[in-house]
Amino acid sequence: MNLLTLVTGMPGPSGFGSASTAEQVTEGIDASNLTAVVTGGSSGIGLETSRVLALRGAHVIIAARNMEAANKSKELILKEIESARVDVLKLDLSSIKSVTEFVDDFNALNLPLNILINNAGVMFCPFELSQDGIEIQFATNHLGHFLLTNLLLEKMKNTAKATGIEGRIVNLSSIAHSLSYEGGIRFDNLNDETGYSDKRAYGQSKLANILHAKELSRRLKEEGANITVNSVHPGLIMTNLFKHSFLLFRIVKFFTMLMWKNVPQGAATTCYVALSPCLRGETGKYYLDCNEMPPSQLARDEALAKKLWDFSNKLINSVSAT
């Protein structure tokens, strides 16, 4: 996607582009037989994703850390869409304990699971360790979603097998994945404050989102599971993710205003990848403005993806053992 199409909103091969909204890219799609979990579904593009999935008939589970905000978001959706099916469950992705408790709570609902949208995240945070002792952006943006996906995978496989409907996992990444640390992931000094960069740490976590999708996609294909895994860049959207760099991004936005999207446009690629019948069987790919795009060279590194998978499992096991 070149600068001209980004600025003008000119559609790509899919028929959609940067100006397309989530409602437009899902028009005519009936999702009434689907159940979806959306992390961070109570604000920003997560809320718009939840709203549009509910609008198309899906049963949406909003997974959020702030339950007050999540319940208000549920009320907003129900006020607009009286027939909407929306539930709210607590989830703090920076906490392994919270992730496991969420999965227990979800399983207690005895629902199927067709779609998992790993949307929640933090951005450009000052150096901080999670309560599990892991760098906060890596813990929240990657590790929490990695564990959540693994714990829900059997449910998704069983749902796909019982219904014959393809399961879909969507990881929200970012174009910032190309601005990670040298070598991509700081395996040997993940939690070292020395050399920490809030921007590169964010890029590292977003690179991890793509590598996770790539490796999981490979494993599921090898297994023959009827589930696809893809990653997306939603575009530049001014949401509360920018709370740590608000002034900086106000300045940046002034000089790049034609490249920014509104929230309905920002949720479009997620909803397209989650619901479009045109993407049936498409997996292990990266989408921008509802069109497939090649990610960075590091994001295509299969050996790096496998190394990250093993590293993530060991990190989770080490925390769980304490």
**Cα–Cα distance, 292 to 166 (Å, whole number):** 19
Which residues participate in catalysis according to the annotation?
196
Q: What is the DSSP string of 21-38?
A: -HHHHTTT---TT-EEEE
Residue length of the chain: 322
Tokens coding 291: 């069109």
3-class state of residue 171 by DSSP: strand
| 23 touches 52 (CB < 8 A) | yes
CB atoms within 10 A of CB 165: 15
Do the bridges between strand 286-288 and strand 291-292 make them parallel or antiparallel, or are there none, so unpaired?
antiparallel
* Residue 36, beta-bridge partner list: 60, 115
Q: Is residue 315 within a helix (H) or strand (E), and if so which, with residue range?
A: helix 302-320
Q: Pick from 8, 4, 20: which is nearest to 270 by CA?
A: 20
Tokens coding 203: 């890029």
Tokens coding 38: 């959306």
Tokens coding 242: 């920018």
Could you say which DSSP state residue 297 is in? Answer: T
Q: Pick from 276, 291, 279, 282: which is nearest to 232 by CA?
A: 291
| 46 touches 66 (CB < 8 A) | no
Rg (alpha carbons) of the chain, rounded to whole number: 18
Name the CA dihedral angle for 239, 240, 243, 244, rounded to a multiple of 10 degrees: -80
3-class state of residue 114 by DSSP: coil
